[in-house]
Structure 1
Amino acid sequence: GPEKCALLTGELGFDAAIDYRAEDVRKALRQHAPDGIDVYFDNVGGDILDAALTRLAMHARVVVCGAISQYNNATPVKGPSNYLSLLVRRARMEGFVVFDYAKRYAEAAQEISGWIGAGRIKVKEHVVRGTVDDFPETLQMLFRGENVGKLVLELS
């Protein structure tokens, strides 16, 4: 909701945030990215990806890392209906699987921890204290959007 958007733009320093549950995403993208989106990192798929595709800048890059909106579908996975935006904007869409970069994890950890130490990246954790039995319910918090930051189950 609005409190999460305020956290993102205030404490965490993002330029803008969109509450996809309460706002018209296409309208908000027009407002916040009037010159188009240069890089879109997608973990959601579905309608949100379609909205982003309508706002691509020339030579944009779309990185597909997940499609959480499609994971529990009883029907076949819905592909992007606005894929022709890739053609019109001469954009690229490419899959990204973190395991492809396993050999560089240590390098990434060192660089990212430097950014965190320098304050260039701010880290937020949502800690749930419980037992292994609490894992399924804690995991569901991700899908309900109840966590703020990295969700951690701290075992007691």
Structure 2
Amino acid sequence: QPIDPSLVPSVTNYLSIFGAVGMTAYFGFLEVCEPKAGETVLVSGAAGAVGSLVGQLAKIHGCRAVGIAGGAAKCARLTEKYGFDAAIDYRGKDEAALTAAIAAACPDGVDVIFENVGGIILDAGLMNLNLHARVGLCGLISEYNTAPRGIRNLWQLIVKRAHIRGLLVADYVPRFGEGAAQMGVWAAQGQLTIDEHIDEGLENAFDSFMRLFAGTNDGKMILKIA
């Protein structure tokens, strides 16, 4: 698909907000999670490229956004830079502690979970669902390089009459133009903050890739090779 560099501050934006990252956040949140104004949205992996955009989209749509991230610096970035209402540091917490932390940050319960991590983070979120909640399953990065733990609190979907739905951005490729146009409007209005972590040199490809699993990138991970 041809791109027009004159339409964006940086051509790399076509790899972030106007690329698969932005479209995953846009269609995954709006069409899979079906948010309503006034609802509470819980985002795991919230400091990542997709998660940070989902939190901002939640605010644009009148929701309360709560993000889960690793470390004080990332949690501060969620509230201070991306506009999340609250942030939860998952580090050093077991499932029970995470469940309690989510309950404290979401006193009215959770209506939408946008899940990027899985494991105990997802299970803790499920324990805080409201009736008829929606869970959008975007990723399970905590389990990609370990023995699968599985979801242990699926019974909450029955009790809360909630639903869980997986999403792949490839399903929405024919509508990328629609999504990019709307994201562009919000970005131009100053309602979206775009972060890109750019490393240079093909020799750094492995280290750049591994940043995704260590969580040391800020925003969309991009490797510039020329």
Q: Partner of 2:181 in structure 1?
A: 110
Q: Partner of 1:47 in structure 2?
A: 120
Q: Partner of 1:126 in structure 2?
A: 197
**SS class of match (1:17):** strand
Matches within 5 A, 1:3-152: 3-23=73-93, 24-73=97-146, 75=147, 77-129=148-200, 131-152=201-222
Higher relative contact order (CA 8 A, sep 6+): 2
Shift of 1:48: 0.8
Structure 1 unaligned segments of length 5 or more: list them: none
**SS class of match (2:198):** strand
Q: What is the number of equivalent residue pairs in this alignment? A: 153
Tell me, in whole angstroms, the C-alpha distance in 2 between the residues paired with 1:71 and 1:65: 13
Q: Partner of 1:155 in structure 2?
A: 225
Runs of 4+ that moved beyond 6 A: none
Tell me, in whole angstroms, the C-alpha distance in 1 between the residues paired with 2:89 and 2:144: 21
Q: Percent identity?
A: 43
Structure 2 unaligned segments of length 5 or more: list them: 1-70
Tell me, in whole angstroms, the C-alpha distance in 1 between the residues paired with 2:101 and 2:143: 23
Q: Partner of 2:24 in structure 1?
A: none
Task: Using structure 1 for the length normalisation, give the TM-score.
Answer: 0.92
Tell me, in whole angstroms, the C-alpha distance in 1 between the residues paired with 2:128 and 2:173: 32
Tell me, in whole angstroms, the C-alpha distance in 1 between the residues paired with 2:224 and 2:80: 27
Tell me, in whole angstroms, the C-alpha distance in 1 between the residues paired with 2:82 and 2:137: 24
- CA RMSD between the two structures: 1.3
Shift of 1:63: 0.7
Q: Partner of 2:43 in structure 1?
A: none
**SS class of match (1:63):** strand
Q: Partner of 2:72 in structure 1?
A: 2
**SS class of match (1:34):** coil
Tell me, in whole angstroms, the C-alpha distance in 1 between the residues paired with 2:92 and 2:72: 9
Task: Using structure 2 for the length normalisation, give the TM-score.
Answer: 0.64
More moved, 50-59 vs 27-36: 27-36
